[in-house]
């Protein structure tokens, strides 16, 4: 691998402050300088191979996925805060629990949750104050969190516990990002007790969830929500999930489930506000008396709606899963390069989605491109929820929710913004900075 272009450890150290704030510009500079594949030295003789090459990403995530596993950033660092659920587990443990969780997110099962989801959405949207500029990201965060909470528990009397759970989730994520971007300070995070403090927070969140599960089991109520589906899931021998594993899965649904949707909704609303002609075209579609978002979800038409095109385009520009890490479990060749087992790869979905090789004017918001695209080929270079067997299990849930939220908002409001350049905050998923919008009654 001597001929693979290398970013030195000194360059990383020299750029440490901007990498901590937002590493994506640093990634782009090096992709532009070195091409679609390069490596970065990160200390102690370790390197990370970065790629935005569509064939390499397809090779790692789909064609040869059995040769690659998630890195310790997820299986250890993230897992210590949210447990060993399907997001952080590997091997047979992952395969077993993915099979158990997957049916809860089948299209037919999700249809039964649409009413619960819509009610939660309507309740949160009542907080919008027409005519006043406000940062929409906290609103979308609370909305998405409530949708997951109601879909999991279908209860209205656990609000305080849900607020606390969201606080813990947000704080632990910020701590994890510091650990990931400042590995040279891990000794200090341990010595100062910061990691210990956040682990105590994590234990508190598990206790909150256990209380809610205990109340459900004691009530013997059948609510046909996501919690019921997980409680009724069985291993091959007929036994249910142990409580610890059930809590792991629920905690991951909260962490991943609300966050990616809140991010994608905030980005979508900003892009619609910046492109009023697109927003008006979308309004004309969703305001038709015959347009029923529930029906669109249950029976997708032959051609996708403009609503779906807008969502797909927003997730192209700002993919929730903006980078994916994998570690090779054996020697492998990718293109003209040979890599030994144990190589850590970082797959840049953000850069792939803005590649001139696949997208005309890639930095522009052009939803109509998804009406023209070859949808079979799209799977080779469009991965907003990941790809292969480990693609996000809740992607349909997120897409349904986004369609319902945008329809509800645009039927009532015209969305505007004075912000010309949106800042982004790449954490576990791709977050926006402040998204100041004004909602005007139509």
> Model confidence at 299, in pLDDT bands (50, 70, 90)?
low
Cα(291)–Cα(299) distance, integer angstroms: 12
> Model confidence at 121, in pLDDT bands (50, 70, 90)?
very high
**Domain segments of the chain as ranges:** 52-441
pLDDT at 12: 84
- Between the alpha carbon of residue 201 and those of residues 170, 197, 206, 208, 296, the distances in Å are 11, 7, 9, 11, 41
pLDDT, mean over the chain? 89
SS3 readout for the chain: CCCCCEECHHHHHHCHHHHHHCCHHHHHHHHHHHCCEEEEEEECCEEEEEECCHHHHHHHHHHCHHHEECCHHHHHHHHHHHCCCCCCCCHHHHHHHHHHHHHHHCHHHHHCCHHHHHHHHHHHHCCCCCCCEEEHHHHHHHHHHHHHHHHHHCCCCCHHHHHHHHHHHHHHHHHHHHHHHCHHHHHHHHHCCHHHHHHHHHHHHHHHHHHHHHHHHHHCCCCCCHHHHHHHCECCCCCECCHHHHHHHHHHHHHHHHHHHHHHHHHHHHHHHHCHHHHHHHHHHHCCCCCCHHHHHHCCCCCCCHHHHHHHHHHHHCCCCCEEEEEECCCEEECCEEECCCCEEEEEHHHHCCCCCCCCCCCCCCCCHHHHCCHHHHCCCCCECECHHHCCCCHHHHHHHHHHHHHHHHHHEEEECCCCCCCEEECCCEEECCCEEEEEEC
How much is the average pLDDT of 40-49?
83
Q: Which CATH superfamily is domain 52-441 in?
A: Cytochrome P450 (1.10.630.10)
Cα–Cα nearest to 41, from 90, 83, 8: 8
Neighbours of 69 (CB within 10 A): 18
Strands 323-328 and 68-69, bridge-based pairing: antiparallel
User: Could you give the percent of the chain with pLDDT greater than 90?
Assistant: 49
State both tokens at 64: 């040869």
- Residue 22: pLDDT above 80? yes
Cα(101)–Cα(84) distance, integer angstroms: 13
pLDDT at 244: 92
- Residue 304: pLDDT above 80? no
- Residue 56: pLDDT above 60? yes
pLDDT at 373: 83
How much is the average pLDDT of 96-125?
87
- Residue 316: pLDDT above 70? yes
> Model confidence at 1, in pLDDT bands (50, 70, 90)?
very low
Neighbours of 316 (CB within 10 A): 26
Maximal CA-CA distance, the chain: 64
pLDDT at 439: 97
Most confident of 38-42, 167-171, 366-370: 366-370
pLDDT at 300: 54
> Model confidence at 2, in pLDDT bands (50, 70, 90)?
low
Lowest mean pLDDT among 7-16, 244-253, 294-303, 344-353: 294-303
pTM: 0.90
CA atoms in the 13 A half-sphere facing the CB of 55: 7
Q: What is the pLDDT of residues 322-373, one digit of tens each?
A: 999 999 999 999 988 999 999 999 999 999 999 999 999 999 999 999 988 8
State both tokens at 318: 């700002």
Cα(54)–Cα(355) distance, integer angstroms: 9
Higher pLDDT, 215 or 280: 280
N- to C-terminal Cα separation, the chain: 60
Q: What is the pLDDT of residues 421-436, one digit of tens each?
A: 999 988 878 999 999 9
Lowest mean pLDDT among 248-262, 285-299, 391-405: 285-299
User: Could you give the percent of the chain with pLDDT greater than 70?
Assistant: 98
């Amino acid at each position: 691998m001597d001929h693979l272009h290398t970013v030195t450890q000194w360059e990383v150290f020299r750029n440490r402050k901007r990498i901590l704030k937002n590493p994506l510009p640093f990634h782009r500079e090096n992709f532009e300088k070195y091409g679609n594949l390069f490596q970065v030295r990160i200390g102690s003789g370790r390197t990370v191979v970065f790629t935005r090459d569509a064939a390499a990403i397809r090779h790692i995530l789909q064609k040869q996925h059995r040769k690659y596993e998630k890195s310790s950033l997820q299986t250890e660092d993230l897992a210590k805060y949210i447990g060993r659920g399907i997001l952080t587990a590997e091997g047979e443990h992952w395969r077993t629990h993915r099979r158990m969780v997957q049916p809860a997110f089948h299209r037919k099962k999700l249809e039964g949750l649409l009413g619960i989801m819509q009610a939660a959405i309507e309740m949160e949207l009542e907080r919008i104050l027409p005519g006043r500029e406000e940062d929409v990201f906290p609103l979308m965060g609370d909305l998405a969190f409530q949708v997951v909470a109601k879909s999991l528990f279908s209860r209205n009397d656990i609000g305080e516990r849900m607020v606390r759970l969201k606080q813990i989730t947000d704080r632990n994520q910020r701590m994890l990002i510091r650990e990931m971007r400042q590995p040279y300070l891990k000794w200090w995070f341990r010595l100062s007790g910061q990691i210990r403090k956040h682990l105590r927070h994590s234990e508190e969140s598990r206790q909150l969830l256990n209380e809610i599960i205990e109340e459900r089991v004691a009530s013997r109520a059948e609510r046909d929500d996501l919690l019921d589906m997980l409680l009724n899931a069985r291993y091959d021998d007929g036994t249910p999930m142990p409580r610890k594993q059930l809590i792991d899965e629920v905690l991951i649904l909260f962490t991943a489930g609300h966050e990616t949707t809140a991010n994608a909704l905030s980005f979508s609303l900003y892009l619609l506000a910046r492109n009023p002609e697109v927003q008006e075209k979308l309004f004309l579609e969703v305001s038709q008396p015959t347009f029923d978002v529930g029906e669109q979800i249950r029976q997708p038409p032959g051609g996708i709606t403009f609503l779906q095109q807008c969502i797909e385009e927003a997730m192209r520009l700002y993919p929730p899963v903006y980078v994916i890490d994998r570690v090779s479990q054996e020697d492998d060749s990718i293109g003209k390069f040979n890599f030994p087992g144990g190589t850590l790869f970082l797959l840049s979905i953000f850069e792939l989605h803005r590649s001139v090789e696949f997208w005309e004017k890639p930095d522009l918001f052009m939803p109509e491109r998804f009406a023209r695209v070859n949808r079979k080929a799209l799977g080779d270079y469009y991965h907003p929820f990941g790809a292969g067997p480990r693609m996000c299990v809740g992607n349909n849930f997120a897409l349904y929710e986004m369609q319902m939220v945008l329809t509800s908002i645009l039927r009532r409001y015209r969305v505007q913004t004075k912000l010309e350049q949106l800042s982004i905050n790449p954490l576990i998923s791709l977050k926006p900075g402040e998204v100041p919008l004004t909602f005007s009654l139509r």
